[in-house]
Structure 1
Amino acid sequence: MNKPEKLHHKKRLLRTTLILSAFLSLGSAFHMYYCGANLANFILCLLPGLIAFASDTALTMIKNIKTETCG
């Protein structure tokens, strides 16, 4: 594998990890909510998923900006 292929593989792995962590966090947060956890625990459990989703969105936006400006 040459360098561009390795970089693409790492980016795809990072994005997949971020998406999976977001879904796992959201799932556990809603599980806590439906099982009667208080609101503070629900929000604390939801934060990692929101951060992961925001990170993935930011990475996508940066990629789009680089593609538009660099050709």
Structure 2
Amino acid sequence: MFIDAYMQMRYEQARGVLAEVILENAIKRFREKRIRMLIDQALDQRDAKAFYRYSAELAGIRKDEIE
């Protein structure tokens, strides 16, 4: 009986961790897509300041992924 309860608890913990990973990945992809859109807009508007700001932000997100 104890083993069943323990296994159930471990299963729930694993599901929670997996859900967190999936959610974090979805949020990161959404942010990257939004920033790429802002970079495109900055290029269209020939706004160098915005382009460099958003490019740096995107590079920071990608750097965090590597570390």
The TM-score, its normalising length taken from structure 1, stands at 0.65
Counterpart of 1:9 in structure 2 is 19
| C-alpha RMSD of the superposition | 1.9
Residue range with higher mean Cα deviation, 9-18 or 40-49: 40-49
Structure 1 runs (4+) greater than 4 angstroms displaced: none
Name the TM-score, length of structure 2 as normaliser.
Answer: 0.68
Q: Which amino acid aligns with 1:51?
A: G
Alignment correspondent of 1:65: none
Identify unmatched segments of 5+ residues in structure 1.
60-71
**Deviations 1:30-70 (CA, angstroms, capped at 9, x unpaired):** 11111121x232010122222223334x37xxxxxxxxxxx
Q: CA deviation at 1:19?
A: 1.0
Q: Which runs of 5+ in 2 are unaligned?
A: 1-10
Single out whichever of 28-37 and 5-14 deviates more from structure 2. Answer: 28-37
Quick one: which of 31, 34, 49 aligns to 2:44? 34
User: Radius of gyration: which is bigger?
Assistant: 2
1:1-71 matches, within 5 Å, as: 2-37=12-47, 39-56=48-65, 58=66
Change (3 A) 1:28 1:21: same
Where does residue 64 of structure 1 map in the other structure? none
Q: Alignment length, in residue pairs?
A: 57
